[in-house]
Amino acid sequence: MTEEITPAHRFDRTRVRHRLTARNIAVAAISKPVEPFVRLTFAGADLADFVSEGPGDHARLFFPHPVTGELVAPTPVGPGEDGIERPDAPMFPRDFTPLNVRTDETTGGRVFDVDFLMHTDPGPASAWAASANVGDELVVVGPRGSVTAPQGADRVLLVADPSAFPAAARWITEVPASCEVEVIADASPADLEWVGQYLREQGGRDDIVVTEVYGSLADAAGDAGIDEGTYVFAAGEASRLVPLRRLLKYELELPRTQYQISGYWKRGMANFDHHAPIDPEDPED
């Protein structure tokens, strides 16, 4: 018999640590789930013990030099060991949400997907993905660990811009079917149709409510309503998230266990560290 989750534990999340190593991977398939995304499926013998158990997981992909094409990346410290060796040379890493981690029915090997958002002014990652071919190789490091989705929340409110839609989709798949899910999409109103299509298809649920942003993200979250049974996950451009964080922490005084906010990128800054504080006036969580 399943033990009932009490209100005091409705937002509990399990932390799982994984072996940190560098894995060689190659493009096994290319598809297009919706117009702005290119999906690359990665495979490789090194993925045999690849694990990703949390909706906010990040895998760091290392890309070739955009001019020379040379791939410089960390290497494992040894077979089965924990740790990596970093080269003394410039590298081009970017963090992505691994999707659909699974065993391939044809090959029997482990594979996962990454959805690359296409830009008008692409960086090294999206430019590489736009011209990738089956067999092209990269190196992946991580996830270092996972934090599972809370299984007792009555409702999850996801606040995301396009960079965080893959993570939002994982949240949809990893909360119970009984959990109500609403997505505040920090995107152009003209994009809401494909946003809804992507989240419902990738998330595997047709009952997802997707709303647009009026005013700030804090305004949108306030309009959506946040009660004692709502868990909030927010990710996207770091500066946009600051007022929302202040709303949750100071105005609503939510316990830290009831929300997670992560800056996936920052305007005017290349390769922003998503672990960095998003609020310069209040760096402590």
Q: Residues of the chain with pLDDT > 70: what percent?
A: 96
CA distance 141 to 144: 8
DSSP 3-state of 198 = helix
125-184 residue pLDDT tens? 999 999 999 999 999 999 999 999 999 999 999 999 999 999 999 999 999 999 999 999
Same fold, 19-143 and 146-265: no
What is the value of pTM for the model shown? 0.92
Architecture of domain 19-143: Beta Barrel (2.40)
Torsion sign across C-alpha atoms 208, 174, 96, 105:
negative
Q: Whose CA is closest to 173, among 194, 159, 156?
A: 156
Q: Percent of the chain, pLDDT > 90?
A: 81
Confidence band of 283 (pLDDT split at 50, 70, 90): low
Element (H, E) at 262: strand 259-265
State yes or no: pLDDT of 1 exceeds 60: no
DSSP 8: G
Higher pLDDT, 2 or 192: 192
Q: Once rounded to an integer, what is the mean pLDDT over residues 223-249?
A: 96
The contacts of residue 184 (CB under 8 Å, 6+ apart) are: 157, 158, 159, 160, 211, 212, 213, 217, 220, 221, 224
What integer pLDDT is reported at residue 2 of this predicted model? 45
Across the range 16-37, mean pLDDT stands at 96
Kindly indicate whether the domain formed by 146-265 is annotated with CATH number 3.40.50.80. Answer: yes
Query: Which has the higher per-residue pLDDT, 272 or 115?
Result: 115
Domain chopping of the chain, boundaries: 19-143, 146-265
Residues 28-57 have pLDDT tens digits of 999 999 989 999 999 999 999 999 999 999
Phi, psi of 77, deg, nearest 5: -75, -20
